[in-house]
Amino acid sequence: MTSGEAPIELASYDPAWPARFRTESRDLQRVLAPWLAAPLEHIGSTAVPGLAAKPVIDIMAGVSNLDVSRPAIEAVAVLGYCYFPYRPHLEHWFCKPSPAFRTHHLHLVPVGTAQWIRPIAFREYLKAHPDVARDYDELKRELAARFRFDREAYTDAKGPFIDAVTEKALASGYGLKEPPESPAP
């Protein structure tokens, strides 16, 4: 575990998570308005009903490109977001209120890129396929126990599952403006 980082602890799904996203989105919408090229998206496990998650609300904001949106790094600091150059060639990444204790992650991502489309496709596929969401929940719980003090290993170990489901989602039309019809129950 990196110094100052809390261990990985998953929480059962909290129906308050979508409301926390909406509340935070109102402030972000106001501050990020000059750079937004798409609506704010609630991504990650807290966006999927019934799915266990680290209780951190992941928010993705679509921008036209990273260079043009660079001033947003300073702008979101007024809301308590801390910038960290994690994958800076793909996104501007932030956490709030601190790297050691996180309640929110913010991803400024160019619209239309794989970095934008893939999380939306994954989220929509899990929402439409509860059996796959259950499999992901089980995997996350197993990995959280195994890698409790290593966030990077936890994230890396989830990668193959996320990639496989995302590829299936994209092949089925998820991640587009209008998601495909949900399968019949």
pTM of the model: 0.90
What crossing angle do the helices spanning 130-146 and 114-128 adopt, rounded to 10°?
110
pLDDT, average across residues 2-24: 88
- Name residue, tokens 């893939």: 118
Q: Would you say residue 52 has pLDDT above 60?
A: yes
- Name residue, tokens 């990444």: 93
Domain that holds residue 122: 17-171
Does 104 reside within a domain?
Answer: yes
Does 183 reside within a domain?
Answer: no
Q: Which amino acid is at 66?
A: L
User: Rounded to whole angstroms, how far apart are CA atoms 125 and 151?
Assistant: 24
Q: Would you say residue 184 has pLDDT above 50?
A: no
Does 4 reside within a domain?
Answer: no
Residue 102 belongs to domain with CATH number = 3.30.460.10
User: Rounded to whole angstroms, how far apart are CA atoms 137 and 117?
Assistant: 22
Integer-rounded Cα radius of gyration of the chain: 16
Contact 114, 164 (CB under 8 A): no
53/177: higher pLDDT: 53
Does 65 reside within a domain?
Answer: yes
pLDDT digits (tens, 9 = 90+) for 107-121: 999 999 999 999 999
Does 105 reside within a domain?
Answer: yes
User: Rounded to whole angstroms, how far apart are CA atoms 144 and 54?
Assistant: 10
31/180: higher pLDDT: 31
Does 182 reside within a domain?
Answer: no
Does 12 reside within a domain?
Answer: no
**Average per-residue pLDDT in the chain?**
92
Q: Report how far Cα 80 is from the mean position of its chain's Cα atoms.
A: 18
User: Rounded to whole angstroms, how far apart are CA atoms 43 and 61?
Assistant: 10
How many structural domains compose the chain?
1
